[in-house]
Structure 1
Amino acid sequence: MSDINEIADGYVERAAALNPLEATYCGVPGYDERMSDLSPDGFRARADLDRETINALSHGAARDEGEQVAKDAMLERLGLAVEFYDSGEATSDLNVLASPLQAVRQVFDLMPIEGEQAQRNLAARIAAVPEAYAGLRRTLLESAKSGRVAARRQVLACAKQCAEWAGIAGPQPTSTSQSPEGDDAAGFYAGLVARTGTQGALRAELDQAAQSAREATAQFGVFLETELLPYAPEQDAVGRERYRLASRYFLGAAVDLDDAYAWGWSEVKRIEAEMNRVAGLIVPGGVDEAVAALDTEPRRRIAGREALRDWMQELADRTIAELHGRHFDIPEPARRIECMIAPTNDGGIYYTGPSEDFSRPGRMWWSVPEGVEEFSTWREVSTVYHEGVPGHHLQVAQAVHQRENLNRWRRLMCWVSGHGEGWALYSERLMEELGYLDDPGDLLGMLDMQMLRAARVVVDLGVHLRLPIPAGTGWHEGEIWNPELAWEFLRGHVRMGEEMLRFELNRYLGWPGQAPSYKLGERIWLQAREDAKARKGPAFDLKQFHSQALALGGLGLDPLQAALARM
C-alpha cells in the first residue's frame, strides 16, 4: 500500500491500543479484555498520536483519488480532535448520553458473553472499571480546577445514572459504606454476569469483578455530587466560541450559526404545515386529534418491550429484503441486523456497527425509560428506517464491508455525526419518496421525527448562544432562550412521552452542537444531491448517486461535498 493508506492503517492499531473502548465500539478485534486509560495521561497520549499522524499525513503523498479523500477526511477529523483536546473540551466531557462515563458501561453491551474466552475478556474488563473511573475522576477534577467543567444539570444527571447502574434505589448515598439491600443492590454488572450462565472459579472471578465495578460506579456518582458539583456552573449555555468548535466537530463543516438558527425556524413552520395537512387525512381536526386517534388504534399498539423488539426486527428485515437489488445493492453481510432492547433504562434509540469480520452484527438499540411498556408503531416506522436500512446500518455496514476500496480508518473509525445522522435523516425522507410512507399515520410519524430534529436546531442554538426568539413567531417574541422556554417549546411541537422528552432536552443542554447535526447534515446531503443533478443533468441516476456517496465511507461533510464534486 502507498503512503496515506499505510498511515491510516497504522493509526488504527495504535489508536486501538491507546483506546480499547473505541476499538470494541469500532469492531477492531484483539482489545476486548482491556480498558482505556481515562486519566490525564491517557487523554494526552491519544492527542499526541493525533498530532503525530497529522504531521505524517501532511508529508504523505496521495497516489489516487481514494487516498486524496482519505487524506482530506483524516486531516479534518484528527485536526478537530486536537482542537477539542487543546480547548479542554475532551477532558471535561460529561453529559447524559455520550461521554467517557457512559462509554465504560455501554461497551459491555457490545461484548459477547458466551464461551470461556469471551467470559475471561469480560472478567478482565469489568475488573478494570475501578481504575478507569479513578482516572476519569482525576481528569475531570483537574479540568474543573482549570476552569472547564460541565454544567450542574449534567453533573447531577450523570450521578443519577451511576446510582441506577449500581443498583442503588432511592437517594444517592453519601458514602460507600451505605450498601442497599434486596434486588436493587444487584446493579448492571451483576446482571451482566448472571446472563453469562458460567459457574465455578470463573464465575467467582466475574462476581468479584462485578462487585468491584458496582462499588466504583457508586463511588463515582458520589464524587460527581460531592467533589465535582461545587465547580459546576448553573448556566447550561456554552457561548458562541465553544459552540462554533462543537458544530464544526459534529458536522465536519463550518456553517453560519445565525443562518442555521433562522433556517431551523423556517423548517419548524414548514413541517408544522405539512403535519396539519397529513393529520387531515386521518381524522377531522388538527394534529393532536390525529395523534389521539392513532394512539388508540389497536393495530398500531404494542404492549411489552419484547413485542416492540420483535416488531422492529420484522420491519427491519422486510425493508432490507425489499430495498436490496432495487434501490440499493446491499452486501450480503450487511443484510443482517439485530434489534435489541438495551439492558439499561437511560432513554434513547441508537445504532452500533458490526465488527470488522461481521461476527458481531450491526444492531439497533432501544434504551426504554423505566415504566414505559406501551408503544405506538406509527411513531417508530421511520425510526427503524433511520437506524436500520437505508439509514445507519446500510451506511456503516457497507463501509465496513469495503476492504478492497477503503483503508481501515475509513471503514472502522471515521464517524462524523453530520454525515451519519444527516444521512439517516435523509433516509427517512427518501423512504417517503420511494413510497414506503404512503400510510398517513406512518407519514405523520416521520414528520413528527422531522419536527423533533428541526426543533433541536432552534432549541440547541437558541439556548447555547442565548439568542432572542424572533419576531413573527407568535411565541415569546424577543425573549432570550433558557431551559424552561426550551421545555415549553418542545412540549408544544413534539409528540413524545415526557420521560423521553426530558432526556432529549438534557441531552441537548449537555452536548452542544450534536443535536442540530441531524437536520443540518440532512440539509447538506440534500444539497449534495441537487448539485449532482445539476452536474449530470439527464444522466443523473439516484441509485448510482447513493452508491457512489456511500462508497466513500464516513467523512466530514466538507470533504464529502468536495469528493462528490470530483465524481
Structure 2
Amino acid sequence: MLAALLGATMMVAVSASAAPTNGSADATLRQLYTDEYRWRQQQLAADEDSRREARAHLPDVGPAAQAARLKRWEDTAARLRAIRPADLSPAEQVNYAVYRQQIDALLNEQRFRDYEMPLTADTSFWGDVAASARDPLANEKEYRAYLSMLGELPRYFDQQIAEMRAGLRRGFTPPRVTLAGRDIGVAQVVEAKTITDNPFYAPFVSLPKQIPAATQAELRRAGEAAIRDSVVPAHRRLLTFLRTEYVPGARITLAAADLPDGRAYYQSKVANYTTLPQTPEQVHAIGLAEVAKIRARMHQVMAQVKFRGDLPAFLTFLRTDPRFYATAPQQLLDRAAWIAKTFDGKASRYFGRLPRSRFAIRPVPADVAPFYTAGRGGPGVYLVNTYDLPARSLYALPALTLHESAPGHAFQMPLAAENKDLPPFRRDSYLSVYGEGWALYCETLGEEMGMYETPYDLFGMLSYQAWRASRLVVDTGIHAMGWSRERAQTYLRDNTALSDHEVTTEVDRYISWPGQALSYYTGQLAIQRARARAEQRLGPKFNVKAFHDAVLALGSVPVSEIDRRVDQLIRDDGRGPYADEE
C-alpha cells in the first residue's frame, strides 16, 4: 500500500573509499534524506496525505513511475551504504538507522511489486480516495483542489486496474476469500440514485458561508459535472473489473509463501514489520509463550469475579451476556468519549510533554464498517466501529480507546509531527513496530493508571493482549506454516474474548496483509523490556514521565533505536529530553 511509502529521504553520492567524517558525513546524509524525502512526497504523498495542497492530485502509479521509484531507491540505498555510521554524530546516527530502515522497506516493496496488489481485506486505494470526500473543506481553494482530484480519478483508477491485472497474471493477489463484499464502497458510488446522493458530493451539500453564493453555485455545478463525467465512470469500470475479472481470478491459496518468490517475500515483511532479524518460526514461538503467560492472568481475573467454569465457558459468558454490550451506536461513542476524557485527567502524572492537537471521536464509515477493525486512530480522529453492536464489547472499550486515541495513536503521532527537532522524514513517517508497539504498551499502562474500573475491564485488556500475542502465532501460522483460515479463527476464538464477527474480520485482515500483525506485540515487548531495564538500573531515580517523553520524542524508529535511547536515559541519570524546561 502507498501508505507504507511515507517516511524517508535522499542524499548525494559519496565514495565508500573516501568516506567523509563527522561534519561532512552529517552534511552528506542530511542532503540525501532531505532531497529524497522531498521527491518522495511529490511522488506519493498526494495519495494519502491529508495536506490541502496534496489533495489536488493523485499520484502517477503507472509502469514508468514505478520503474523510476525503483531506480531512485536503489540509488539511495547504494549511497547510504557508502556512509559509515561511525563517521556520523550521535544525532545523525539515529537518523541514519531510521532512514536506512525506511529505504530498505521501500526498496523491498518496489522489488516485490507490492503496487500490483493495492488492497487488503479492509483497505484499498478507492477507499483512501473516498475518505477525502468525508474531510471538511474550508475555502474556495480547497474546493478547487478537490475538483482537480476528482478529475484525475479516471486516470488513477485505470492505472491501478492495469497494475492489478499484472498482479492477477502472475498470481499476486489477495486470497479470494478475503475479497467477498469488499466492493461495496465502489458499488455505492455507481448505484447512487442521483448525483447529490453520491458520496463524493458530500462536500457540496453545505459550503462555507464565506464563499459567495454565486461561487457556491458554480462549485456545485462543477462538482456535479465531475461526479457525472469522471467519478461515476471510473468507479463503474473498477466495479466491472472487480466483479468479472479480479475477484473470480484471485488466488484461492492463503499463504504469502504461495505468492511468487513467496518465502522471500514473507521474510521481507517479517523484517519490515518487526525490524529484527527473526525467522517466522522464531516469531511463532514467542507468540505461543506470550499467549500462555496471558492465559495465566486471565484465570486470576476469573477467580476474582468468582466465575465457576473454565476459560472457554468464561469467554462464552463475555460474548453473550447483554450487560457487556451497548444497545445504541451513540452509547458506544459516548462511552469512548468518557474513557478518553478520564485519561485526560491522569495524563500529566505520566507524561511531561502533551501534544497540542486534539482529536474527534467518530463512527467508522458505513461502507467499510462491516470489514473494519473495532476502532482505528491517528492525528485528529479516533474511529469507533458501531456496526454490529453485539460484536463490540464495552469491557474491551477502555483498552481500545487507550490504544487508538490517547495516549496511543492520536497522542503519539501528533507529538512526532510537532517535534521540530526531528527531520521531516521522521516527523511524518509511521513505522508500525514503533507506533503499534507504543499503542499496545498504552493498553497495559492503563492498569498502572487505574483506567480499568472493573475486573471485566481488566480482562478486556488481557483479551486484547492475547489477541496481539496470538497474531504472532496466527500470522506466521498462515503465511509460513500452512495454517487454514479455520485453524486461525479457532486459535483466536480459543484465546481471546473477541466476538465471532471480529475473529472473522481479523483473520481475513492477517491473510490479506502479511506480516503487519507482527508489529504490535514485537514493539510492545521492546518498550516493556527497555522500561524494565531503566527501572532496574535507575532505581529511585526512574521517572515514568521522563521515560515516556524519551520514547515519544523519537518519532517512529526501529526497535534498536528504542534500546539506544533508553540506554542514553540511563547514562543521563534518568533525566528526560525536556528536563531543562521544567
TM-score (ref. length: structure 2): 0.81
Matched residue type, 1:41: A
Give the distance between the partners of 1:106 and 1:459, measured in 2 at CA: 30
Aligned partners of 2:88, 2:103: CA distance in 1, in Å? 21
Q: What is residue 447 of structure 2 aligned with on the other side?
A: 432
CA contact (8 A) 1:69 1:563 kept: no
Per-residue CA distance 1:258-298 (angstroms, 9 max, x = gap): 12212212222222232232133335324544774797575
Distance 2:162 2:521 in 1: 36
Match 2:432 to one of 385, 401, 417: 417
State the partner residue of 1:552. Answer: 554
Q: 1:285 aligned to 2:308? A: yes
Change (3 A) 1:50 1:546: same
Q: Distance in 2 between matches of 1:24 and 1:90?
A: 17
Structure 2 distance, partners of 1:39, 1:295, is: 50
Q: Once the 2 structures are TM-superposed, how far is the Cα of residue 340 of structure 1 from its aligned partner?
A: 1.6
Does residue 545 of structure 2 align to residue 521 of structure 1? no
**Partner residue, 1:365:** 383
1:78 CA displacement: 0.9
Change in 2 beyond 3 A, CA 1:429/1:367: same
**Counterpart among 206, 225, 233 of residue 223 in structure 2:** 206
Work out the CA distance in 2 between the residues paired with 1:327 and 1:491.
34
Contact 2:127 2:185 in 1 (8 A): no
- Among candidates 145, 151, 159, match of residue 175 of structure 2: 151
Q: Percent identity?
A: 24
Q: Structure 1 residues 125, 314: closer, same or farther in 2, change over 3 A? A: farther
Report what 1:265 is aligned to: 288
**Conserved in 2, the CA contact under 8 Å of 1:165 and 1:188?**
no
Report the Cα distance in structure 2 between the residues aligned to 1:17 and 1:181, rounded to whole angstroms: 33
Which whole-Å CA distance do the structure 2 matches of 1:24 and 1:67 have between them?
A: 26
Runs of 5+ consecutive residues of structure 2 not aligned to the other structure: 1-25, 258-262, 570-582
User: 1: distance between equivalents of 2:33 and 2:549?
Assistant: 23
Kindly indicate whether residue 221 of structure 2 is the aligned counterpart of residue 221 of structure 1. Answer: no
The yes-or-no answer on 1:188 pairing with 2:199 is: yes
Q: Which residue of 2 aligns with 1:460?
A: 475
Partner in structure 2 of residue 407 of structure 1: 423
Residue 7 (structure 1) aligns with: 32
Query: 1:543 aligned to 2:568?
Result: no
Match for residue 382 of structure 1 among 379, 392, 399:
399
Name the residue aligned to 2:10: none
Relative to structure 1, is the Cα distance of residues 541 and 330 closer, same or farther in structure 2, using a 3 angstrom cutoff? closer
Once the two structures are superposed, residues 200-235 of structure 1 have per-residue CA deviations (whole angstroms, 9 ceiling, x without a partner) of 121122223334324423421321332334653211
Which of these residues, 48, 59, 69, is aligned with residue 46 of structure 1? 69
User: TM-score by structure 1 length?
Assistant: 0.83
Matches within 5 A, 1:505-516: 505-516=507-518
Match of 1:328, SS state, is coil
Report the 3-state secondary structure (helix = DSSP H, G, I; strand = E; otherwise coil) of the residue aligned with 2:452: coil
Report the CA distance between 1:107 and its aligned residue: 4.4
Question: Cα offset for 1:129?
Answer: 2.1
On the 8 A contact 2:275/2:559 being kept in 1, the answer is: yes
Structure 1 unpaired stretches of 5+:
169-178, 355-361, 468-480
- Going from structure 1 to structure 2, the CA distance change for 1:290 and 1:91 (only over 3 Å counts) comes to closer
1:204 partner SS? helix
Pairing partner for 1:78 from 103, 109, 114: 103
Tell me the amino acid that sits aligned with residue 418 of structure 1: V
Matched AA of 2:332: L
8 Å contact from structure 2 (residues 460, 497) kept in 1: no
- Determine if contact 2:126/2:186 at 8 Å carries over to the other structure: no
Please, which of 128, 137, 144 is the counterpart of residue 152 of structure 2? 128
Paired residue type of 2:129: V
Q: For residue 434 of structure 1, report the CA deviation from its aligned partner.
A: 2.9
Residue deviations 1:52-109, cap 9 Å, x none? 4434544568753222111111011111210221122343343123443433333444
Judge conservation of contact 1:166–1:185 (CA < 8 Å) in 2: no
**Cα 1:137–1:181, aligned 2, differ >3 Å: closer, same or farther?**
closer
Residue in structure 2 matched with residue 162 of structure 1 by the alignment = 183
2:563 aligns with 561
Aligned-residue offset at 1:424: 0.8
Residues 1:391 and 2:408 aligned together: yes
Distance in 1 of aligned mates of 2:396 and 2:320: 9
How many residues matched? 525
Tell me the equivalent position of 2:491.
489
The one-letter amino acid of 1:497's match is S
Residue 249 (structure 1) aligned to one of 269, 272, 289 = 272
Structure 1 residues 486, 146: CA separation in 2 closer, same or farther (over 3 Å shift)?
Answer: closer
